[in-house]
Structure formats: C-alpha cells, structure tokens
Structure 1
Amino acid sequence: MAHKSQRRKVLALTGIAAIAFSVTACGGGGDDNSDGGTAAEDTKDYSKWCDMKSELTGKTVSIYTSIVTPEDAPHKESYKPFEECTGITIKYEGDKDFEKNLPQRAQSGNLPDVAFIPQPGLLQTMVDTGKTIPASKTLSDEVDKYFGPDWRKYGSGDDGVLYAAPLGANVKSYVWYSPKAFTAKGYTIPKTWDEMMTLTAKIATENPAAKPWCAGFSSGTATGWTGTDWLEDTLLRTAGKDVYDQWVTHKIPFNDPKVLDALGKDAAILKDPKFTNGGFGAPSSIATTTFQDGGQPILTGKCFMHRQASFYAANFPKGTKVAEDGDAWAFYLPSVDATTKPVLGGGEFVATFRDAPEVKAFAAYLASPEWANAKAKATTGGGWVSANKELDPANLVSPIDQQSAKILQDPASVFRFDGSDMMPSAVGAGTFWSEMTNWIKGQDDATTLGNIEKSWPAK
C-alpha cells in the first residue's frame, strides 16, 4: 500500500554536502567471531566494515527504494564513505511504484540486495515470501543499542525475528503555527489537550476574520490520508499505546467505543464551523483542500493552527523562515496530560535479500551513527531525520528536523508507527482514506467507523 509520508509529501530540492569520514570510525557491533552459519546464526562482526576491504573490494550491492529524485541525491552522497573504505560499489534504483513492484519482483526472482521498505505491513509481506534475510548479530545489536524496542518491533516479523533496521524517520505529532501571530496576540503554546481546546475557543472569539484551524484532506488517489493521521494521533493520546496497538492489529473492532471517542474529539475541531477551515471556507472544504495547501493560511493570518507532520515544512513558499522565531514553526501536539508524550510517526526499514558479507556490512553501516550523521550532513536542504539515538541534531540543517530528532531521542517519548501503514491495504490505503473523506463531508462518526469495520478483511 502507499506510504503516506514518502509518496504524498512534496519536499524541497536537496543539495549535497561533502562529508568528512574517518575510516577508523567503523561503529561498534558484536564480537569478531567466525563467518557464522545461516544468516539467523551469523555472529561475524560486520560493524568493522572498513577492516573488511580485502574481502569486499570489487563487490556490488544493489538498492531498490521509493526514494527518487531529488531526495535520492543525499542518499547517494552518504554512501561514499562506505564505498571508499570498503571498495564496494552501491547501485541505486528508485521507483515511484516501489510498493507495487517489490512483491512482484519477489515472484519473478528479481529481488535487489537491499530494499528500503516504508511500512511494517509491506515488510511482513516480504518476510512471508521466505526470501528476506534475518538480521545478523551485528545488526541486531545495533538496533538494540541505537534504536530500542519500539523500532525493533516494527522491523521484526510476526515470528519475532528481526529482519530490518530502521533507516529514516518522521514525526507526525506536530501543530504548525505562526510564532509572529501568536506573539502579537499573546497566545502561548498549549501543554495539554484541554489547554489546546481552550486556546482554540479563545482564538475563535478574538479573531472573527480568521479561524483557529485549517486542514486539507485532498491528495489525488490518496485523498483522506491526512484524516487518518488525525484519528491515529488523537487515539494514541486519549486511549494510550496499548489500545492503539490493539486497534491497529484489529484485536479490538475499528469502531470500538474508545475510537469513537477519539473521532468525536477530532470532530469537535475539524467539523465545527467556528473552528475550521481558515482561509478556505466551511469544514466540508477540507475534503477538497489539498494536503499541500492545507496549512498555508497560517502565513496570511487566516488560520492559526495546522496539524501536520514534520515534512510539511517543505511546502511553505521559498523564503519562509521556518524557525521558533520565524514565519512558521511547529509545536508538539499535546496529550491529554503533560506527563505523557506519545509520538506518531513513520519511517523506512532496510530489508536484505542476499546472504552475503557485502550486503550485511552495508546493512550494518546504514544502522550506524556514522551513516546517520553522514546522511544528516548530506541533506543540506533539510527534510530528513533518523531515530538513531547517536544522531547529533547539530548535524541537521533544518531547525524542525533538529526538534524532531530531539523528540525521537527523548526517553519520555512513546513512539508508535502510523496506524494505516500497518493495516491491511484494503483498509489502511482504502476504506480508512475514503471514509474519513466522507466523514469530513458530513457523514457521522458512528457510520464512518462502522463502514471501515465492515471492510476489514476476514482471516
């Protein structure tokens, strides 16, 4: 199914920076033992990839991914230190139809060495083919050390085996606003959901020519995906991570009372004509307002808040200062209380399909702090972040990327992957999108959730 944060975002052109890299900085993984046996039992230390040059020189590793021009340029630049110190050539292939074509390539026997998979659901599909290689001990150790249990879970199959380490990440739990407008009005950043609703009512009362919120659900064939993010973010806050996990895996019905309660809280914002849709019209206009345009009215004073992911920064016009004291900035979408910090987000995972030392060494490199910091330096236009705990936020050029990295690294944060990206495609990229669009057009909460529940595929 389509990956919302990779396929639907519009990113600014990214430049390329030179990267200084010491061949002695080869990360820290498992013990340097024997070559190991099967991939699942492989205990060789692939973290010392530079020391493996005599073994690896002349080898080629192929990558297949949905990351295409211009986003591919910083990726290719970030592989150069690895190529130079190992003698390996990285062959990169980007494809906008990656999600559709990867399973087909598995059937035809034309798999790449490495694939960047943007959904845990698609990863499981590939694991089910029997052609995905389990992680080496080095890679497993790196995931535990640099990412932690939440990310490990999303890179593992239903069998509990780790197959893929995280690559990039994004934070969706943001509310965009104009610092200048907030300062002029004396508004402060809300710390709880109730404070946010109090601020919403205050803005509506004090600004008759504007609205507190603006949004856009239109996104071509993916229209409605931004609405799914609203419900996922709210449910994670109101019901907690355990209920969220049960909902995503259909251990509770899609229309469980807790989900109905969360959608009601969204309706209190998005479907109230006093509160939306600033700069566009009635709440129903959200259905036809594009994702890219949805937050633009915060720059013109027609809207004060826009809930959208970190990557939305790239949609503001050239010259917009995106900073805490700038034209646009984002605050963390508050939870129901100030003591919890749920974070909704997404990312990619590095799956491998060839059992070879050069492939395992490259996978270890991509899970390392060396690569995360190299990629940060290469992404001179911003719009990229990693959940790697040893990524130095100072190496990220964009202030919003720096803030996202700090949120992801915060021990208090409870990260959960985008729910629709983990659901069966008939729901996550089907009825969930279409029914949320019907909902914003006027369909009631219970009917919306009930229709999606009916569409869940039978086992």
Structure 2
Amino acid sequence: MNRPGARTLGVLCVCLVLLGAGVYAGVRWARDWEGSVTLLANWSGTEREQFEEHVVEPFEEKYRIDVVYQGSSALSQVLAADMAAGDPPDVAVLPGPGELLAYAVDGRLHPLDGLFDTGEYDRFWAPEVTVPGQGAHTYWLPVKTGLKSMVWYAGQAPTAQSAGQPARWCAGLESGATSGWPGTDWVEDILLQQAGPGVYADWANGRLPWTDDAVRKAWTTWAGLVGAGDAARAEQVLTTAFDADCAAGRLEHQGSFRAGHWREESGDYVHFSEVVPEAGADAGAWEVSGDLAAVLDPTPEAERLIRYLADPDTALPEYTANRAAAADTEQDATEREIGTLLREPGRTRCWDASDAMPRATRDAFHQAVLRHFADPSDLESRLRELEALRRPQNLPVCSTG
C-alpha cells in the first residue's frame, strides 16, 4: 500500500486547519451578532471556564452580543500597554480599587451612574468616588468577591499557642507575575487584627507611614509566625505556589477560594483573630477581595454587559456582593456562610490593603515581602523603600455595611 509522503500530509493538515477555522467562523457568523464587547480579566483555567459557561454564553444568547474575552496573568501590564497604544478594552476587570482609582483620576474610566442599583451593594463594594474636576461617580462594579482573614485546618481547631509554631503553617508565595501577594495578605491581616480597622484604613490609604510602629510590628509578627529567615524554609516557601495542596494537620492562612480543597480534607476555618499574637480590642474585622469591572470605552454593548453583570438573576461565579441575588442552592454550608459574611449588614469588612493601594506601591509591597521572608534582618530598609512610595488617597477601605 502506498503511504502518503510528508509533503502530502503537511498539505492535508493545513487544509484541515483552514477547514476547521472556516467552520468556526461560519458558526460565529451564523449567530448574527448585533455587536461585540472586549473584556480583559485575569481569569484562566477553571475560573475562566466557569465565567464563560455561566455568564458569557447566556449573555451572548440573550443579547446577540459577542464577548471577546482577553485573559492575562500580567493584567496590569497588559492594560497599561493597551492604554498607551490607545486601544483599551471596552471593559476591564481588575482586583481591587487602587489601580482603578488612578485610572479614574486620569479620566480613563467612564461613570457607571444609572447602569445598576448601587443600593443593592454595600457602599464599600460600589462606592461613589470623588475625582477632582469630575465630581462624585460610581466607577466600578464587583463581579466576584472573596473572603480572607481565614485560617483553614482539619482536625482539632488551632489555638494561639499551636499556631505559633512555623512548621504548622503551609505557605507558598509564588504566583507568577504577582508573586508575593500571599505574604502581603499576612502582613495586612495581622495589622488589621492588632491595630484595628481605623489604623488599617489610614495605612491602606497612604495616610499612615510604613515606618509606624504598628506597621513594623505586623511585619515582625509575620516573620515570627512563618519562620522567615530560615534558609531551607525560605527556599521552599519562595518557590511553592500559593495554591499548592496543604495536608491535614497543617494550617493555612488563605482566602475563601480554598474552600474546595479543605472540603476534601473535611476541614473548617477560624477567624485569624483567634490565633494571631496580640490581637487588639478591635480585632474581628474581615479582610476581603473583589474583582471589579470598569468601563473604558462606553459603547452600548459595554453598558449592556455592566447591566447584565449587576442583574441579581445573573449566575456570577463563586460569591456575589449583590444583596438582592438569590441564594445559590448548590453551595454547601461553608460556602453559604462565606457568602453571608461577604454581604450581611453589620459586619466590618476591609479591602485587601495592597489591592487598595496604587499600583507602584502594591507591586513594591509584593517584592518587599519576598525579600523580608528571605532576610528579615533588613526590615528597616524595606520599610523606607515603601515609605518613599507612599501617596495619600481617599478610598472607602473599611465598612460595616
């Protein structure tokens, strides 16, 4: 039997690729789109799949608007480059309000006033932000939110004494272009529990020096808890991914996105204030995170997408901040409790401080915790470097909702 030669196979492969592309294009054309909207976010893997399946596809079916999703783990760098080139996405989803505030001040963001009912959200999640020369407007919408200040465990609940042993803690600081952020979560949460929401908010807003004793104490507490400075441990922690498996019997200071992992271990969580050394009288506030959608090009399609994301009936992934949204019947008891903690009035919630800071400060903070973990003896140099970047701003960092 004659076998096809390499050249014939190559031509055949090219034809199949072109045929596949043509079929795909035909399917897209057959949908008879009435417009399109570009969306930039950092979701990948399962996160992206869930968002596209539960949010994007129903939106496209309902409104005949094609959502062109652009995903990147280097979100800030990609958005800055797009801005510089004069070709920003229609909608961008960024973690936290700090970077978005800078874009609003520069006149890059378009107000979302009238596109959704801000009364369905704690002011903290979708605030009116006053920008010089532009008045007060709402510039972002929370798409998904997360709870922090959690210590996960399996078995016996941790105490302040048992949690004081560095070997008990799982820790991983590696996260690609954003490596270091899990360490900033530690420092932030320790400051929040030791000094209280007022001091924490001033610090996040650049109104409290990095060299303040309360901030310095948070850094040294973290170093002691996790065993910073130990060469072998530093090498392991600095190269371990933030979402690496954590065995039963260990403790993990990590957010609500870890609920699935600890469910498999029959685990639970306690509030960080129960184990952090020298928790203050105002301890007990929850640190939280959120992915916020903002409009950079106010096309009708972009505004339609914002309205859809704010609709209480839209099945957003994980945890929504919309108080009018129906309970997710597929969530287990722990997940329902987390959702309540994120939305329930009367609870003190504070933004992840690094996500509320300007981009340059946030990125330097990430790097500083990596260096501090490797060598905690040079803390004063780290704090002075960060102090040089401090710029006062005015964001609603904490709220009792």
- TM-score, scaled to structure 2: 0.76
The answer to whether the 8 A contact 1:176-1:295 is kept is no
Code of the aligned partner of 1:438: R
| Equivalence for 1:151 | 125
Q: Distance in 2 between matches of 1:114 and 1:293?
A: 28
Query: How big is the shift at 1:131?
Result: 3.4
Measured after TM superposition, the shift of residue 174 of structure 1 is 1.0
Counterpart residue number, 2:195: 239
Residue type of the alignment partner of 2:358: P
Q: 1:445 to 1:176 in 2, by over 3 A?
A: farther
Match of 1:94 among 55, 64, 71: 71
CA 1:81 to 1:225, structure 2 compared with 1: closer, same or farther past 3 Å? closer
| Deviation per residue, 1:309-368 (Å, 9 max, x gap) | 222346x4xxxx616xx4333333226379853111221111113334443232122012
Q: 1:138 to 1:291 in 2, by over 3 A?
A: same
Are the aligned partners of 1:62 and 1:113 in contact in 2 as well (CA < 8 Å)?
yes
| DSSP-derived class of the 2:183 partner | helix
Letter in 2 for 1:83: E
Q: 1:358 to 1:263 in 2, by over 3 A?
A: same
Q: Which amino acid aligns with 1:240?
A: G
Paired AA for residue 435 in structure 1: A
Taking the TM superposition and a 5 Å limit, the aligned residue runs for 1:49-64 are 58-64=34-40
Amino acid at match of 1:443: P
- Label 1:433 to 1:104 Cα distance change in 2 as closer, same or farther (>3 A): closer
> Counterpart amino acid of 1:311?
F
User: Which secondary structure state, in structure 1, belongs to the residue aligned with residue 206 of structure 2?
Assistant: coil
For residues 251-286 of structure 1, the C-alpha deviation after alignment (integer angstroms, 9 at most, x for no partner) is 11012112123334334422399xxx9xxx965456
When the two structures are aligned, how many residues end up with a matched partner? 353
What is the aligned partner in structure 2 of residue 263 from structure 1? 219
Answering whether residue 374 of structure 2 is matched by residue 433 of structure 1, we say: no
Residue aligning to 1:328: 267
Structure 2 letter corresponding to 1:258:
A
1:169-226 per-residue CA deviation (whole Å, 9 max, x = no partner) reads 11121111113xx1xxxxx46xxxxxx314436xx6xxxxx94333233445544322
Runs of 4 or more above 6 Å deviation: none
Report SS of the residue matched to 2:125.
helix
The residue identity in structure 1 corresponding to 2:257 is F
Decide which moves more: 445-454 or 361-370: 445-454
Which whole-Å CA distance do the structure 2 matches of 1:211 and 1:97 have between them?
32
Provide the rounded CA distance (Å) in 2 between the counterparts of 1:62 and 1:342. Answer: 37
| 2:103 pairs with 1:103 | no
> How far is 1:446 from its partner?
4.9
Q: Aligned-pair distance for 1:307? A: 0.9
**Letter of the 1:144 counterpart:** G
Pick from 353, 376, 396 the counterpart of residue 443 of structure 1: 376
Partner SS for 1:385: coil
Q: Secondary structure at the match of 1:90?
A: strand
The reply on whether 1:413 has 2:347 as its aligned counterpart is yes
Residue type of the alignment partner of 1:105: D
Query: Structure 1 453/62 Cα, relative in aligned 2: closer, same or farther at 3 Å?
Result: closer
**Which secondary structure does the structure 2 equivalent of 1:237 belong to?**
helix
Change (3 A) 1:121 1:222: same
Unpaired runs of 5+ residues, structure 1, are: 1-56, 183-187, 190-195, 205-209, 377-383
Partner-residue secondary structure (3-state), 1:375: coil
CA displacement, residues 81-112 of structure 1 (integer Å, 9 cap, x when unaligned): 43334343333232333321223222333222
Deviation per residue, 1:215-247 (Å, 9 max, x gap)? 233445544322211110111112222211211
The 5 Å alignment of 1:19-418 reads 58-77=34-53, 78-139=55-116, 142-145=117-120, 147-153=121-127, 156=129, 158-159=131-132, 160-179=136-155, 182=156, 188=157, 196-200=159-163, 211-220=167-176, 222-271=178-227, 284=234, 287-292=237-242, 296=246, 298-299=247-248, 301=249, 304-313=250-259, 316=261, 322=263, 326-334=265-273, 336=279, 341-371=284-314, 374-376=315-317, 384-397=318-331, 400-418=334-352
State whether residues 127 and 157 of structure 1, in contact with CA within 8 Å, keep that contact through their aligned partners in structure 2.
no
CA distance in 1 between counterparts of 2:218 and 2:126 reads 28
Cα contact 2:196–2:283 (8 A) shared by 1: no
Distance 1:454 1:294, change over 3 A: same
Q: Which amino acid aligns with 1:405?
A: G
Q: 1:289–1:313: structure 2 CA closer, same or farther, 3 Å change rule?
A: farther
* Alignment partners' CA distance in 2, 1:258 and 1:158: 30
Distance 2:89 2:375 in 1: 46
Task: Measure, in 1, the Cα distance between the counterparts of 2:221 and 2:79.
Answer: 38
Question: Aligned in 2, Cα 1:103/1:433: closer, same or farther, shift over 3 Å?
Answer: closer
Give the unaligned 5+ runs of structure 2.
1-32, 393-401
Partner of 1:100, secondary structure, is helix
8 Å CA contact retained: 2:82, 2:88:
yes
Identity %: 25
* Residue deviations 1:122-176 (CA, integer Å, cap 9, x gap): 212332442321113242xx2222x2111123x7464542111111111121111
CA distance in 1, matches of 2:202, 2:376: 25
